[in-house]
């Protein structure tokens, strides 16, 4: 199931932490586009989630941690390969994938490129059968991008 959460910018972090907590019993991958792993780890700890058991694709900063890989957010091809490889590497069965927060990709890429990337990702995530949460900051989201995400998702939550 793919869920799009459209939240105010200041609530992105809590929406992300809540989503991770919800799925924390499953193996999964988080794509970090707004905060580095070091900051996210602490926030998750406060929620009682052990971040070390989750795999992170960190597009903000490099990390020495074993459960983190870094990808430049401007390189959508590298990002697509990394997401593919990490999800494929998880044990068979239920898994989750959470993006914090997709709209941030438009900072380093054109809006059209991110729209195409979103379509690509939605199609793949559906095939890979991952419980997906895509968090989008209300203020920074392009209207067309938001429309694509909402149309591709099974459920939209706006807060």
Partner 1 sequence: MRKTFVLAALSVLVFAILTLVYITRQGNELVLTWVGDIAPMLLSLSAMLACWFAYKAIPKEYLRESRGWFYIALAFLFFMVGDVYWGYSEIFLKVELPLGSFSDLSWELAYLMLFIGFGFVLRMMFHSEKKVRWVTFITALAAIIFISIEMKKYLTTGNWIEAIQDSYVLYDIILLGMITSLLLPLIQSHNRLMNVWLLFGLAVFARIIFDFLFAGMTAIGAYATGSFIDLLYAASYVLFVVSADAKLKMLPAHALTVLRGEK
Binding region for partner 1 (CB under 8 A): 55, 66-67, 69-72, 75-82, 84-86, 88-92, 113, 116-117, 120-121, 127-129
Record the tokens describing residue 72, joined without a space: 């430049």
E-strand ranges in the chain read: 2-7, 28-32, 55-58, 68-70, 96-100, 131-137, 155-158
C-beta of 9 vs 84, nearer to partner 1: 84
User: Is residue 102 within 8 Å of 132, Cβ to Cβ?
Assistant: no
CB 83, min distance to partner 1, A:
9
d(CA 124, CA 143): 22
CB of 79 to partner 1, least distance (A): 7
DSSP 34: S
Least Cβ distance, residue 85 to partner 1 (angstroms):
4
DSSP label at 37? H
Q: How far is the CB of 129 from partner 1 (least distance, A)?
A: 6
- Would you say 86 or 103 has its CB closer to partner 1? 86
Quick one: 22 or 70, whose CB is closer to partner 1? 70
């Amino acid at each position: 199931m793919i869920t799009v959460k459209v939240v105010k910018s200041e609530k992105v972090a809590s929406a992300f932490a809540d989503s991770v907590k919800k799925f924390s019993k499953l193996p999964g991958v988080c794509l970090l586009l707004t905060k580095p792993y070091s900051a996210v780890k602490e926030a998750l700890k406060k929620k009682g989630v052990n971040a070390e058991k989750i795999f992170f694709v960190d597009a903000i900063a490099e990390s020495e941690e074993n459960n983190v890989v870094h990808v430049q957010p401007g390189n959508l091809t590298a990002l697509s390969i990394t997401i593919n490889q990490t999800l494929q590497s998880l044990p068979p069965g239920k898994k989750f994938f959470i993006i914090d927060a997709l709209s941030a990709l438009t900072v380093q890429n054109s809006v059209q490129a991110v729209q195409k990337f979103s379509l690509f990702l939605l199609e793949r995530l559906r095939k890979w059968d991952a419980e997906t949460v895509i968090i989008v900051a209300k203020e920074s989201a392009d209207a067309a991008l938001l429309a694509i995400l909402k149309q591709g998702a099974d459920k939209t939550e706006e807060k």
